[in-house]
């Protein structure tokens, strides 16, 4: 009640103007922050290579694009992000042990990206794969979050 | 006095008028405040000046940043010293601000007319940490890159808005040139500007509540500020500048190799003042460690001076002799218990393995939290029964447990964890 009584016509107009101005500034500010996000995004698909280049049951690094291409026993593909789902460090694939290991906090993942060792709780992100004319195209701009590995995530030729 | 004389002395007069003409003799005893607020203000000025100079060398771009730092350190006369001074002042400012916060809590200087200033103080503490954090990225070396990566990824654990928040802070899914530019602008533009305003209000509110708190407000012996207080301030300021300069001459600010997004160093740690959070994250579900716990602690800190039915001895250290005893016990309890629980949670307690059917929110979130809260509640109960702690003393005990717990986690996280973040590695 006290609050309502205090508002006069003059103070109402004053406050409205101030509020609108601040909202406008905040809006512009947040849009500025968003803007640089889009500017730095290239929108083409990354060409990983021809199908027969990749042997079955092996994992190929594309470190400059921040993903590993994992070809499974049955010939299916998974493009697995190198970004650890715990705190965003870059995981490395160890060929000897056959798993992804995070150097920061010792999370480990198998070749499907499933969690083998905590502290990570979520499987590694994957990138959508499309196969055109026997060429593998990876959309490295659209990481797909997943909680666990499912066979539907695999892309077949 | 003629007009020209007033003009000549304008700066001196302004500085003198930050203080009243006379001050209470108790207020200027060094151990009353340890001069922490003044030291923080001086550090801000040093940071401001060195920062302005650094701006002439620094290039806020992915290619230019690291090169400009090495150029500064190797080619510019006293460039390394300039960066060292800025770096160590920044780190010291975090510590001094934290000590200042502790001082005002334990000397009961946050109640009544100082309530509002407590809130501005908390805001300043937040701004100090934000400034330090945004500056942390600027060298664009491995240390900076991965510390900020980890910190922003910690942010993304906040429920609902976390992912968006982290993306807005970074300007993308990963750290990039855009992140560097916005951190640079915050660090060298917006944040210092806001801090100057908030600091002015902070100081003005101290004056408005008639200076710092004194232990015995019935004693009103006043002494002239100049020279009694001014001399002390000059001695402290000169000592600080001397120590800081010597330290910066002999100890270089760290600079690792240039940031490489493809290779994370092992282990990767966030800046040391956030290591408490990172440590907590190892033991507690993200929703609790990144969101619920910090939110509750902040709300509690804000709420303290507004609590009803408390009897406070404004200006008396630890409220009373009894309060001092309780605070010491709380430090001992929290230090030992937090440490033991960290070790236990590292090697023994694996609720998520014992009860795999239950939600992670319960096994890694609620259970560990209860495991910390129940003994702490018992401890408070014992304090109340054995030492007759009143409400104020219990609040102080809770604050002590929280602060000590955070310090223990920070020490464990930054000093006792090595490769793969293993304990004692």
Q: Measured between CB atoms, which of B168, B352, B421 is closest to A105?
A: B421
Closest CA to B396 of B274, B304, B313, B273: B304
How many domains are there within chain B?
A: 2
Residue B132 CA to residue B253 CA, distance in Å, equals: 14
For A85, name the nearest residue in chain B, comparing CA atoms only.
B153
Of residues B407 and A110, more confidently modeled: B407
- Are residue B254 and residue B277 in the same domain, yes or no? no
- Are residue B279 and residue B385 in the same domain, yes or no? yes
Q: How many CB atoms lie within 10 A of CB A19?
A: 10
Mutate to test the interface with A, among B184, B420, B422, B423 (most CBs of A within 10 A): B420
Model pLDDT for residues B42-82, shown as the tens digit of each residue: 999 999 999 999 999 999 998 999 999 999 999 999 999 99
Report the pLDDT value the prediction gives residue B334, as an integer from 0 to 100.
96
Query: Residues with Cβ < 8 Å from B238, sequence gap 6 or more?
Result: none
For residue B10, being part of any structural domain is answered with: no
Question: Once rounded to an integer, what is the mean pLDDT over residues B229-255?
Answer: 94
Residues of A with CB under 8 A from a CB of B: 30, 33-34, 36-37, 39-41, 63-64, 66, 82-83, 86-90, 102-106, 118-119, 121, 143
Contact criterion met (CB < 8 Å) for A87 and B268: yes
- Are residue B300 and residue B388 in the same domain, yes or no? yes
Domain of residue B238, CATH code: 1.20.810.10
Contact criterion met (CB < 8 Å) for B262 and A90: yes
Q: Tally the C-alpha atoms within 13 A of residue B154's C-alpha that lie toward its C-beta.
A: 24
Residue A113 C-alpha, separation from nearest chain B C-alpha, in angstroms: 18
SS3 (DSSP) at B348: coil
The dihedral over CA atoms of B13, B14, B18, B22, expressed in degrees to the nearest 10, equals 10
Contact criterion met (CB < 8 Å) for B167 and A41: no
- Are residue B305 and residue B174 in the same domain, yes or no? no
Contact B112, B314 (CB under 8 A): yes
The DSSP 8-state label assigned to residue A65 in this structure reads: G
- Are residue B353 and residue B290 in the same domain, yes or no? yes
Q: Measured between CB atoms, which of B177, B261, B352 is closest to A90?
A: B261
Which of B242, B265, B288 is the last residue before a domain boundary? Answer: B265
For residue B7, being part of any structural domain is answered with: no
Contact criterion met (CB < 8 Å) for B267 and A103: yes
Find the domain containing B88 and state its range: 16-265
Question: How many Cβ pairs closer than 8 A exist between chain A and B?
Answer: 78
The DSSP 8-state label assigned to residue B31 in this structure reads: H
Residue B401 CA to residue B397 CA, distance in Å, equals: 6
Model pLDDT for residues A70-90, shown as the tens digit of each residue: 888 887 888 888 888 888 888
Residue A68 C-alpha, separation from nearest chain B C-alpha, in angstroms: 12
For residue B2, being part of any structural domain is answered with: no
- Are residue B376 and residue B332 in the same domain, yes or no? yes
Read off the pLDDT band of B134 (50, 70, 90).
very high
Residue B238 C-alpha, separation from nearest chain A C-alpha, in angstroms: 41
- Are residue B239 and residue B288 in the same domain, yes or no? no
- Are residue B58 and residue B145 in the same domain, yes or no? yes
Q: Is the pLDDT confidence value at B2 over 70?
A: no
For residue B371, being part of any structural domain is answered with: yes
Residue A85 C-alpha, separation from nearest chain B C-alpha, in angstroms: 9
For residue B117, being part of any structural domain is answered with: yes
**Residue A77: what are its φ and ψ, rounded to 5°?**
-115, 145
Of residues B296 and A126, more confidently modeled: B296
For residue B6, being part of any structural domain is answered with: no
Report the pLDDT value the prediction gives residue B372, as an integer from 0 to 100.
92
For residue B241, being part of any structural domain is answered with: yes
Residues of B with CB under 8 A from a CB of A: 146, 149-150, 152-154, 167-168, 171-174, 176-178, 181-182, 261-268, 278, 281-282, 352, 360, 420-422
**What is the largest distance, in Å, between two alpha-carbon atoms of chain A?**
78
- Are residue B305 and residue B186 in the same domain, yes or no? no
For residue B8, being part of any structural domain is answered with: no
* Predicted structure pTM score: 0.89
- Are residue B83 and residue B152 in the same domain, yes or no? yes
Contact B1, B198 (CB under 8 A): no
Which of B219, B250, B265 is the last residue before a domain boundary? Answer: B265
- Are residue B261 and residue B276 in the same domain, yes or no? no
Which of B217, B248, B265 is the last residue before a domain boundary? Answer: B265
- Are residue B227 and residue B275 in the same domain, yes or no? no
Model pLDDT for residues B293-320, shown as the tens digit of each residue: 999 999 999 999 998 888 888 888 888 8
Residue B199 C-alpha, separation from nearest chain A C-alpha, in angstroms: 22
């Amino acid at each position: 009640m006290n609050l309502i009584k205090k508002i006069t016509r003059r103070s109402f107009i004053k406050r409205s103007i101030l509020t609108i101005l601040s909202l406008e500034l905040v809006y512009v500010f947040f849009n500025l922050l968003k803007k640089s996000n889009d500017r730095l995004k290239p929108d083409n698909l990354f060409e990983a290579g021809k199908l027969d280049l990749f042997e079955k049951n092996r994992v190929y690094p594309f470190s400059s694009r921040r993903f590993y291409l994992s070809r499974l026993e049955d010939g299916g593909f998974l493009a697995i992000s190198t970004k650890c789902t715990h705190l965003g460090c870059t995981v490395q694939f160890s060929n000897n042990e056959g798993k992804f290991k995070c150097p920061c906090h010792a999370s480990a993942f198998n070749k499907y990206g499933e969690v083998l060792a905590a502290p990570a709780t979520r499987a590694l992100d994957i990138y959508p794969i499309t196969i055109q004319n026997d060429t593998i195209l990876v959309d490295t701009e659209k990481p797909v979050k997943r909680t666990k590995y499912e066979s539907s995530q695999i892309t077949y030729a | 006095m003629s007009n020209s004389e007033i003009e000549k002395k304008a700066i001196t007069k302004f500085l003198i008028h930050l203080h009243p003409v006379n001050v209470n003799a108790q207020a200027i005893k060094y151990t009353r405040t340890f001069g922490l607020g003044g030291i923080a203000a001086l550090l801000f000025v040093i940071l401001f000046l060195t920062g302005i100079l650094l701006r002439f060398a620094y290039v806020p771009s992915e290619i230019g940043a690291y090169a400009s730092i090495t150029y500064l350190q190797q080619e510019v006369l006293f460039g390394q010293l300039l960066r060292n001074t800025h770096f160590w002042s920044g780190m010291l400012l975090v510590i001094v601000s934290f000590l200042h916060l502790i001082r005002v809590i334990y000397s009961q200087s946050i109640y009544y007319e100082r309530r509002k200033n407590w809130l501005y103080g908390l805001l300043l503490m937040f701004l100090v940490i934000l400034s330090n954090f945004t500056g942390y990225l600027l060298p664009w070396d491995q240390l900076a890159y991965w510390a900020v990566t980890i910190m922003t990824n910690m942010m993304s654990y906040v429920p609902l808005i976390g992912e968006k928040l982290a993306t807005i802070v970074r300007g993308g899914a990963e750290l990039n040139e855009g992140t560097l530019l916005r951190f640079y602008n915050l660090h060298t533009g917006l944040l210092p500007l806001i801090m100057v305003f908030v600091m002015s209000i902070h100081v003005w509110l101290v004056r408005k509540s008639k200076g710092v708190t004194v232990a015995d407000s019935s004693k009103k012996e006043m002494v002239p500020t100049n020279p009694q207080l001014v001399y002390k301030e000059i001695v402290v300021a000169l000592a600080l500048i001397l120590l800081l300069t010597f330290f910066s001459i002999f100890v270089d600010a760290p600079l690792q190799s240039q940031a490489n997004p493809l290779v994370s160093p092992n282990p990767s740690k966030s800046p040391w003042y956030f290591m408490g959070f990172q440590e907590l994250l190892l033991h507690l579900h993200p929703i609790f460690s990144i969101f619920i716990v910090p939110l509750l602690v902040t709300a509690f800190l804000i709420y303290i001076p507004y609590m009803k039915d408390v009897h406070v001895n404004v200006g008396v250290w630890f409220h009373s002799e009894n309060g001092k005893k309780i605070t010491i016990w709380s430090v001992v309890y929290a230090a030992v218990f937090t440490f033991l629980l960290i070790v236990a949670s590292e090697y023994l307690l694996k609720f998520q393995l014992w009860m795999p059917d239950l939600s992670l929110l319960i096994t890694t979130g609620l259970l560990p939290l209860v495991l910390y809260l129940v003994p702490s509640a018992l401890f408070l109960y014992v304090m109340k029964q054995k030492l007759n702690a009143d409400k104020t003393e219990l609040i102080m005990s809770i604050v002590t447990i929280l602060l000590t717990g955070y310090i223990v986690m920070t020490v464990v996280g930054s000093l006792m964890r090595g490769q793969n973040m293993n304990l004692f590695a």
